[in-house]
Amino acid sequence: MDVWSWICELPNSVEGTESHSPPMKFEIASEKNDDKLDNSTRSIHLKAERTSGSDSEAAVIFTVCLQGFHPHNAHKPLWVSEKCHLSSEKPFLPLLLQLLQEIISHSPTAHDSTCPRSQLQKLKPDPIAWIMDSHTPESLSTFFNLVFTMRLFWLCAFHAPPEAGSLYFHSLLAPVLQTASSKLASSVLRTFFITVGVDTELCFMRTLGYIITKLHLIKELDVGLLGLKTLLLLQILLRQRGSRSLDSQRLRASHDHETVQKTQFSGIDAKESILRYSLAHHQLEAHVQLDYTVGFYDGFIQVRARVDNIRLHLARLGFSQNDDVDDFVEEKHFPSRVRVWVGPEIGSTYCAGLSLGRSTENKECEVETKRIVEGNFEKSQGSNVKALAKSSRRTRSRSWRMDQDAEGNAAIFDVVLHDNTTGQEVGSWRPKGDDPAHGLRGRYVRANRAFNKSGSVVIAGDEYGEEVGWRLSKEMEGSVLKWRIGGEFWVSYLPNQAKGSYFETRYIEWCDEVDLPLIHGKTT
């Protein structure tokens, strides 16, 4: 799908045509009707219709339309754009701005969010125009296709028949996401996020995370309308009222409770199904910040790096407090390990050596408990003996272990969560039993908890440890090196307040390259 290239060709096709001319169409996705008696084609397409502007200059209005989906009225569009004036220097800037603004306004929010969507300012056109000018047509096309596909998700969720939603997931979403994960698209996304700021970035990525969650759920449920109907039943069990979710608003057609109940997550009980459904809507938001310094000495250059802070936040994506059953509000993933590495590009020969600092002392918290026993012993009618006994014990609790390591010329910062009751590493633990015993119950309320109350964790540089350093040849002064940086992140789930045996650990890896200038007097 290359909607952007088709749109960019419109001025040559529309200029000079009459406003009452037939609209031009771009087919977004299509499939044959599965009804044996009906050989028609069902499709989602974009229309571009010529209209007149304020001074009768040529303008285009875009509409998203469905065709062949019963009982949807093909003449009624799902979405209508604002006017795009073809005489403008950037005629389709308003279209991109409108799509981005609507994605942000429809984005799910974490339940503990302090930045509601209503407080976000509207996007300004100048930064978006700069993005359009500063990237190649290929990368901009990939970015626009992703934005358009994300906006189309909510159109299928609110206003389309369930078959249209099925077509969207099967034929459109997965290929667009695969293309959007390329380096070509990531450069535009990175520029976009830097330009619009962190708050808008969160809204955009939470929308994308919510859409990907639905895609994976449908794949796990064997796709098809049967899988979509299973999601609907789970949503009913979750007692969502008025939620802007795909399965609660627009997938009500051909709903069969009896058939759905037989397909719940491959035979597991309903309560565990709801728990897994709730856990699937958690999104890890990781922030890794490292400090670099470059020092120049007689005969060599030294590059130093230290952890400034690592922030790990688990956002529960939803739209209201009714998105979860009360029993599962406190049942959520938590960070269990993070492994960050940094160093010169693989195969580099300009590094003379890597120096590591010590691992941290991991200061332990001492807990003292006392027991007081009182008793009365009657030896005779006239005398009583009262005894008082005291006992105390000290225990040491350890949650996070922070170490440094090396692999080739890459320095590794490793932070691992341990169960302070069993002493085992949480990310690799495999508890047994219907209700496994562990020291992570009540993990968000205890005084010596390993997380803050929202389930997040912040690892600051002053508690992590010492810096690491590399020696480089003096001849490298003035050059700009490619420095690799990456991370591995683990999140786990163990029962917090609920009873049950379900547990899991999920893992994701991220890597990138940054420019490291070796310029005298410069700090990065």
What confidence tens digit (pLDDT) does each residue in 1-31 have?
789 999 998 887 766 566 566 778 999 988 8
Asked which of 88-102, 153-167, 190-204, 281-295 is least confident by mean pLDDT, the reply is 153-167
User: Left (φ > 0), alpha (ψ -120 to 50) or beta: where does 265 sit?
Assistant: left
pLDDT(333) > 60: yes
Q: How confident is the model at residue 382 (pLDDT cuts 50, 70, 90)?
A: low
283: phi then psi, degrees, rounded to nearest 5: -125, 125
Best-predicted range by mean pLDDT among 185-194, 303-312, 394-403, 427-436? Answer: 303-312
User: Left (φ > 0), alpha (ψ -120 to 50) or beta: where does 267 sit?
Assistant: left
Find all residues with CB under 8 Å of 80, minimum gap 6, and list them.
61, 62, 63
Contact 14, 60 (CB under 8 A): yes
Q: Quick: pLDDT tens for 29-56.
A: 888 876 666 677 888 999 999 887 555 6
Q: Cα(449)–Cα(335) distance, rounded to whole angstroms? A: 13
The whole-number pLDDT of residue 380 equals 54
Coil, strand or helix at 352: strand
Question: What is the greatest pairwise CA distance in the chain?
Answer: 118
Q: How confident is the model at residue 368 (pLDDT cuts 50, 70, 90)?
A: low
pLDDT(138) > 70: yes
Question: What is the four-CA torsion angle of 243, 246, 248, 252, rounded to 10 degrees?
Answer: 150
Q: Quick: pLDDT tens for 200-221.
A: 898 899 999 999 988 888 777 6
Mean per-residue pLDDT over the chain, rounded: 78
Q: What is the pTM of this model?
A: 0.80
Q: How confident is the model at residue 106 (pLDDT cuts 50, 70, 90)?
A: confident
Q: How confident is the model at residue 161 (pLDDT cuts 50, 70, 90)?
A: confident
Please give the C-alpha separations between residue 217 and each of 1, 49, 190, in angstroms, as whole numbers: 24, 37, 28
pLDDT(302) > 80: yes
Using the structure block, give the residue that is written with the tokens 């008082």.
388
Q: Which amino acid is at 182?
A: S
Q: Which amino acid is at 289?
A: Q
Helix, strand, coil shares of the chain, percent, nearest 5, are 30, 35, 35
Q: Cα(123)–Cα(128) distance, rounded to whole angstroms? A: 8
Q: Quick: pLDDT tens for 76-94.
A: 889 999 999 888 889 999 9
The whole-number pLDDT of residue 259 equals 31
Task: List the CATH code of the domain at 289-363+398-517.
Answer: 2.60.40
Q: How confident is the model at residue 265 (pLDDT cuts 50, 70, 90)?
A: very low
Beta partners for residue 505, in sequence order: 492
Best-predicted range by mean pLDDT among 85-99, 106-120, 321-335? Answer: 85-99
The CATH 2.60.40 portion of the chain extends over 289-363+398-517
Q: How confident is the model at residue 301 (pLDDT cuts 50, 70, 90)?
A: very high
DSSP string, 180-200: HTSHHHHHHHHHHHHHH-HHH
Under DSSP, the state recorded for 114 is: S
pLDDT(316) > 90: no
The dihedral sign for the CA sequence 103, 107, 113, 116: positive
Long-range contacts of 247-250 (CB under 8 A, 24+ apart): 247/214, 249/157, 249/158, 250/156, 250/157, 250/158, 250/159, 250/160, 250/161, 250/162, 250/165
Of residues 291 and 522, the one with the higher pLDDT is 291
Tokens of 21: 């001319």
The whole-number pLDDT of residue 281 equals 87
The whole-number pLDDT of residue 91 equals 92
Distance in Å from the first CA to the final CA of the chain: 40
